[in-house]
């Protein structure tokens, strides 16, 4: 109950009100910029009207906020994130800023010393590429940091995890252990497990990691929500909601504590059907939570060479990655979900995986008519011959601009120069008639829509590299990039009738920022500071 | 959505109103009868005031219902039932009225013929005692009715199930199968499984029975709710809510379809903690649903000789039943639940099990102070030396009057005449200062509070037997019996501040019945017909 009240910032809505004297900016439903100076808000937190400088203000208002000319934008929407993981990651050991194995080892040892009561050291964010290691780290290297208890650390992309000897022992993993379907135990001398477990093999150890308690889950959720609001994110897709995640959202919702709107995609068909029963839920808690569809996986990630390619990896000639399931199983799962009206979102990174998902969508679309909005999550490496296929059946390309800027060097190594024509091909997606939705894939990347927006029209990282942008022909316009993080992301979650832009009847979800993002240089845009975040006509976060 | 609207009977509340010209009866908080002629209802469905014949009616009212002198009572509350099982049982093959094995076989065969599309024939309600069989039925006897597909039928008390050869084959149960802890595979010639599986052994076959779909669960819930409302039951404890059950209640609640109020006790600690996270939920959906606590099992049932006795069964000298878990495990589970503020309800039928639970409560009460309301479910066969212990720590005896009338002959056979002094000892519970709550244990018995109420002060069955009542010294008064099904049942679920009687501030949950239950003979009381059922100021059921 302490938590419940802590989130409750003073509300000024609940009555007719006005947010006045703002540099108001939004896109309209056609993606065109609309400017306004004031926003009328209804008692139930919706937008009543946008007003210009010369428009008369109503005489009777219950409340008024004067922002003295500051910039007001619709809340940002992240079309692909992992809410609970964001919270857990933020409360756990975080290696995402480490630049070398040695630095990571020191940080791990320090964290263990500072947390003597933790039976397991849990964390993540490591990336052997960022360390310049050129190979996975080993259990022995982790033992050197912490030997007295199990350590289990997820790779930045979540597609691999690294354990020390105590963790492997607790899990009973030995030289005799066999890699499960869809996963790989990295092996060392004599077939001994080397310490890293890729994709499905992670469960061999993960299953013995102590589960978080309800209070841990609540705390992780609250943490995640605060982080999202601090970036101006007022709605997000949750890509792979577990039963525990869902029950956590309900608990917080029951206490009146949901602030960020969650478009939930159940983790697999069984979970989705268990939650939804007969189909998607209605919008719950005044449009704060809805089970929209199902998240499926066609393959793994590029960094861990789990992405499924048409031809072998350039830097590992014997490997092409692998599909997470057979073609038939994928279609059966998509069909089972579509049958009950769940939206289907399939993770596909490699060109082979993308082709398989497009094949499956072709087949599904023959049976499941109407407005289905098939989603391909990431759509990262696409064979150019497959690009036009994204335009069929209103398929949504749910992409993450910061994956391009973060992964381009690694992607070049994995694929070689010949296979990058259809990589992170945002402009091609639009040109081919696909619907584009942008997200961050947090916590894989920071849930920072400003970095994503800047990357979307520059194809450059925070360092301004590469000069002129990487494959700049795939940049979108500044407005298209914004739409990807607002109206496009709302459309991708069947929520465009209530969020994604400011217009009469829409939820009054808006943010006050310290600069005009349409005038800012890319570097300035990345530095945008959100000052206040409002959801449904209530101020739910402000910068202290 | 069809379902959602189908439940929505025309509402007359939502505004100030009056239910007038009734023979109004309720108990007050001290269990004394209060008579009134009219009930004022607030716009949010609570009782504003009870009015007598001479009291002035308010001038301004938005609605008025004149019941022309009919009897109005507070809604009945069942302190121990199984909501989803009631619904499923009602939609499945029901053998509860069969009087012989041959009749059951004929009914099973007929049901299979009428349902050629069902891959499994599922049902329950059989009772070899009611058939006069003197032994469990066999797989071969079930094969004689249905041989072409699996059949799996639960015993009336849910503590045993009966399968045919196809079911046993599907489950891979053979002569080599071993009875699991807390369960027993009935064995025949050569150690072959005989067809009946007791307690935990049921899972050997149950695990391969196809799971119901979401729509099946929704349909079962709606069916259960309708049945309960038709008996005038407006609130119920759900004793052993699974995750699927909970998600079903939430789905129906999200659609605005909850009518009966549910006090939910999670099935075991893991489920309870998974749902509640950090403790009981708030009341949800305008007091329609709350996770209150946890349901645990100390033993099985008397009929299947799963009840744990201090001395062997009179009719099976080698057997004393068995505890479902060790003393230490039971205490650990109770402690784990109590630690987070969940109420603990433990099933205990046999005298040994009751003593164990009382021992555990003694120990828990040293650590977990305050208003805990430890519940013993059934408290059926109690060693007289243990009876006074129910008065300590406000322990609640949650008992079922129709178990006494339904089981007394079987209980005499199982226990012999010497051990019945503390059996179904309702009056002793009150005398010793225990709080008494009454229920039906539906679907084990019909969810008929009128039969239960009549049994409570007569100790006689519907047939008026035995003359003068069975061990009539344990009868309670007519008012005490009523309290057990109203205020006592509410108190047992921490709900006495909102339901269980009609008084200002309480929910306007009431029923219109066709006779005055305080004046009716026991036979007439049993025949009570509910004409309308109102929950929270809305009419939610009426007899057609």
Nearest CA in chain A to B211: A274
Share of chain B above pLDDT 90, in %: 90
What residues of chain A lie within 8 A of the CB of B281, using their CB? 251, 254
For residue A36, tell me if it sits in a domain. Answer: yes
Q: Domain of A144: which CATH number?
A: 3.10.310.70
* Statement: residue A358 has pLDDT above 50: yes
Residues of A in Cβ contact (< 8 Å) with B215 = 277-278
pLDDT tens digits for range A205-246: 999 999 898 999 999 999 999 999 999 999 999 999 999 999
| Residue A315 in domain | yes
Mean pLDDT of all residues belonging to chain B: 94
What pLDDT does residue B8 have? Answer: 40
Q: Where among A207, A242, A274 does a domain terminate? A: A207
Distance CA A526, CA B255 (A): 43
pTM above 0.95, yes or no: no
Find the CB nearest B218 among A243, A254, A278.
A278
User: In Å, how far is B339's CA from the nearest CA of chain A?
Assistant: 13
Q: A125 and A165 share a domain?
A: yes
Q: What is the mean pLDDT of residues B460-477?
A: 96
pLDDT of residue B284: 97
Are B277 and A251 in contact (CB < 8 Å)? yes
> Are A522 and A494 members of one domain?
no
Assign A14 a pLDDT band (cuts: 50, 70, 90).
low
Q: pLDDT tens for residues A301-348?
A: 998 899 999 999 999 999 999 888 888 999 999 999 999 999 999 999
A105 inside domain: no
Instruction: Enumerate residues 6+ apart whose C-beta is below 8 A from A354.
Output: A298, A348, A376, A379, A380, A381, A382, A383, A386
Same domain for B504 and B484: no
Closest-CA residue of chain B to A242 = B274
Task: Say yes or no for a CB contact (<8 Å) between B243 and A215.
Answer: no
Asked whether residue A52 is domain-assigned, the answer is: yes
Which two tokens mark B156? 């009336």
Q: At B337, is the pLDDT very low, low, confident or very high (cuts 50, 70, 90)?
A: very high
Q: What is the CATH number of the domain that holds B535?
A: 2.30.40.10
Instruction: Name the closest residue on chain A to residue B214, using Cα atoms.
Output: A277
Please check whether residue B91 lies inside any domain of the structure. Answer: no
Residue-range definition of the domain harbouring residue B46: 12-75+500-543
Q: Is the torsion defined by CA of B231, B234, B237, B238 positive or negative?
A: positive
End of a domain among A207, A236, A255?
A207
- Binning pLDDT at 50, 70 and 90, where does residue B63 land? very high
φ and ψ at residue B72, rounded to 5 degrees: -120, 130
pLDDT at B274: 95
Residue range B386-399, pLDDT digits in tens: 999 999 998 999 99
Which pLDDT score, from 0 to 100, does residue A189 have? 85
> Would the CB atoms of B277 and A243 count as touching at under 8 Å?
no
Same domain, A323 and A386: yes
What value does the mean pLDDT take over residues A153-165? 93
Contact A214 B244 (CB under 8 A): no
pLDDT band of B182, cuts 50, 70, 90: confident
Whether residue A6 has pLDDT greater than 70: no
Q: Render pLDDT for B287-301 as a digit per residue (tens, 0 to 9).
A: 999 999 999 999 999
- Mean pLDDT value of segment B14-27: 91
ipTM, interface predicted TM-score of the complex: 0.83
pLDDT, tens digit, 9 for 90 and up, residues A445-500: 999 999 999 999 999 999 999 999 999 999 999 999 999 999 999 999 999 999 99
More confident residue, B444 or A281: A281
pLDDT value, residue B6? 39
The residues near B389 (Cβ < 8 Å, ≥ 6 apart) are B358, B362, B395
Please state the rounded mean pLDDT for residues A94-113. 96
Please list every residue in chain B whose beta carbon sits closer than 8 Å to the beta carbon of residue A275.
247
Domain boundary among A482, A499, A516: A499
B225 CA: distance to closest CA in chain A (Å):
18
C-alpha of A531 from chain center: 22
A53 within domain boundaries: yes
Domain total of chain A: 3
Q: Determine the pLDDT at residue B5.
A: 37
- Residue A107, pLDDT score: 97
Peptide bond into B466 cis (omega under 30): yes
Do residues B154 and B229 both lie within one domain? no
Q: Are B487 and B518 part of one and the same domain?
A: no
Nearest residue to B126 (alpha-carbon basis) of B182, B196, B179: B196
Same domain, A220 and A348: yes
Q: Do A458 and A491 reside in the same domain of the chain?
A: yes
Is residue A435 located within the same domain as residue A504? no
Q: Name the band, by pLDDT with cuts 50, 70 and 90, for residue B14.
A: low
Question: With pLDDT > 90 as the criterion, what percentage of chain A qualifies?
Answer: 90
What confidence tens digit (pLDDT) does each residue in A382-420 have?
Answer: 999 999 999 999 899 999 999 999 999 999 999 998 899
How many other β-carbons are positioned within 10 Å of the β-carbon of residue A331?
Answer: 17
> Span A279-287, mean pLDDT?
97
pLDDT at A203 over 80: yes
Residues B315 and B337 in one domain: yes
- Identify the weakest region by mean pLDDT among A14-18, B12-16, B251-255, B468-472: B12-16
Q: Which of B482, B518, B515 is nearest to B500 (CA)?
A: B482
Q: Using CB atoms, pick whichever of A244, A277, A340 lies closest to residue B251.
A: A277
Identity of the residue in A244, A254, A275 whose CB atom sits nearest the CB atom of B247: A275
Chain A, nearest residue to B284 by Cα: A254
Q: In A, which residues are within 8 Å of B253 by CB distance? A: none
From the candidates B4, B252, B278, B288, which should be mutated to test the interface with A, based on the most A CB atoms within 10 A?
A: B278
Provide the β-strand partners of residue B289. B262, B284
Task: Output the six-digit token pair for B11.
Answer: 């509402």
Asked whether residue B9 carries a pLDDT value surpassing 60, the answer given is no
* Minimal CA separation from A343 to chain B, in Å: 17
Contacting A with CB below 8 Å, chain B residues are 213-215, 217-218, 243-244, 247-248, 250-251, 254-255, 273-278, 281-282, 284, 340
User: Are residues B466 and B505 located together in one domain of the fold?
Assistant: no
Reading the block at residue B473, the tokens are: 């010294």
Task: Summarize the confidence of residues A259-264 as an average pLDDT.
Answer: 98
Residue A402 has a pLDDT of 97
Position A95 in a domain: no
Statement to judge: residues A482 and A418 lie in one domain = yes
Interface residue of B254, B290, B291 to substitute, partner A, most A CBs within 10 Å: B254
pLDDT in tens, B201-212: 999 999 999 989
Average pLDDT over residues B479-502: 98
Q: What is the CATH number of the domain that holds B256?
A: 3.20.20.140
Residue B421 counted as domain residue: yes
- Looking at beta carbons, which residues of chain B come within 8 Å of A251? 276-278, 281
């Amino acid at each position: 109950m302490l938590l419940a009240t802590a989130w409750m910032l003073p509300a000024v809505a609940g009555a007719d009100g006005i947010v006045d004297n703002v540099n108001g900016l939004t896109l309209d439903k056609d993606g065109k910029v609309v400017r306004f100076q004031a926003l009328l808000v209804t008692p139930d937190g919706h937008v009543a009207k946008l007003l210009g400088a010369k428009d008369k203000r109503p005489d009777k208002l219950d409340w008024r906020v004067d922002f003295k000319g500051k910039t007001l934008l619709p809340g940002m929407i992240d079309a692909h994130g992992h809410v609970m993981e964001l919270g857990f990651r933020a409360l756990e050991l975080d290696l995402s800023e480490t630049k070398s194995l040695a630095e990571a080892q020191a940080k791990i040892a320090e964290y263990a010393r500072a947390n003597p009561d933790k039976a397991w050291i849990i964390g993540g964010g490591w990336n052997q590429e960022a360390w310049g290691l050129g190979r996975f780290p080993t259990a022995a290297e982790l033992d050197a940091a912490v030997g007295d208890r199990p350590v289990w650390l997820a790779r930045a992309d979540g597609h691999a995890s690294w354990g020390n000897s105590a963790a492997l022992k607790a899990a009973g993993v030995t030289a005799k252990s066999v890699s499960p379907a869809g996963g790989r135990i990295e092996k060392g001398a004599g077939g001994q497990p080397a310490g890293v477990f890729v994709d499905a093999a992670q469960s061999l150890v993960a299953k013995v990691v102590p589960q978080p308690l309800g209070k841990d889950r609540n705390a992780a959720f609250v943490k995640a929500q605060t982080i999202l609001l601090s970036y101006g994110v007022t709605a997000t897709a949750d890509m792979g909601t577990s039963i525990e995640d869902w029950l956590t959202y309900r608990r917080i919702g029951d206490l009146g504590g949901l602030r960020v709107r969650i478009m939930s995609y159940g983790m697999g068909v069984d979970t989705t059907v268990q939650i939804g029963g007969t189909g998607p839920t209605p919008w719950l808690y005044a449009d704060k939570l809805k089970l929209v569809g199902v998240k499926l996986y066609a393959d793994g990630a590029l960094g861990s060479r789990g992405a499924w390619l048409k031809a072998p990896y350039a830097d590992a000639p014997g490997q092409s990655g692998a599909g997470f399931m057979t073609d038939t199983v994928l279609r059966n799962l998509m069909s089972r979900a579509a049958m009950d009206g769940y939206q289907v979102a399939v993770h596909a990174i490699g060109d082979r995986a993308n082709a398989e998902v497009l094949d499956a969508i072709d087949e599904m679309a023959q049976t499941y008519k109407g407005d289905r909005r098939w989603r391909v999550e990431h759509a990262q490496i696409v064979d150019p011959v497959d690009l036009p296929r994204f335009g069929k059946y209103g398929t949504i390309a749910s992409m993450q601009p910061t994956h391009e800027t973060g992964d381009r060097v690694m992607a070049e190594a994995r694929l070689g120069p010949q296979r990058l024509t259809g990589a992170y091909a945002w402009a091609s997606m639009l040109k081919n008639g696909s619907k584009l939705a942008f997200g961050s894939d947090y916590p894989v990347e920071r849930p920072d829509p400003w970095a994503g927006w800047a990357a979307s029209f520059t194809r450059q990282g925070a360092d301004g590299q590469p000069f002129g942008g990487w494959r700049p022909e795939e940049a979108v316009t500044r407005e298209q990039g914004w739409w990807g993080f607002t109206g496009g992301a709302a459309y991708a979650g069947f929520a465009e009738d209530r969020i994604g832009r400011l217009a009469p009847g829409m939820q009054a979800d808006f943010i006050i920022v310290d600069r005009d993002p349409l005038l800012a240089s890319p570097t300035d845009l990345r530095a945008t500071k959100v000052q206040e975040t409002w959801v449904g006509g209530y101020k739910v976060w402000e910068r202290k």
